[in-house]
Amino acid sequence: MATVNMLEAKTNLSRLVQAVESGAEQEVIIARNGKPAARLVAIESKPKRSIIGIAKGKFRTPAHRSATANTLYLRYAHDR
């Protein structure tokens, strides 16, 4: 845990953010007049959720689904 004053934080902000992002520093405390004023920490990224199967279990298919599909197929296939 590093502590820096406000002027040093302003001057080296990119370097401080990079150190926190890379894990070199877990957090950086920014002090004003020698008193801690802010804490710079990395944001924990959430793993992306897969959208495949997102509605699984939320809808029920009718039991007669295959009979209906076959009926429609026969009805429209005959017209071709």
Domain ranges of the chain: 2-41
Candidates 27, 48, 36, 26; CA nearest to 6 is 36
Mean pLDDT of the chain: 84
- Please check the confidence at residue 80 and state whether its pLDDT lies above 70: no
Q: Residue 29's beta-bridge partner residues?
A: 3, 39
What are 37-67's pLDDT values in tens digits?
999 999 987 777 777 777 777 877 666 556 6
Residue 63 in tokens: 């039991």
Domain 2-41: CATH class, spelled out:
alpha beta
pTM over 0.75: no
Q: In which element (H, E) is residue 70 found?
A: helix 65-79
What are 3-43's pLDDT values in tens digits?
999 999 999 999 999 999 999 999 999 999 999 999 999 99
pLDDT of residue 78: 64
Residue 61 in tokens: 């298919």
What's the rounded Cα separation, in Å, for the pair 40 and 42? 7
What secondary structure letter does DSSP report for 44? P
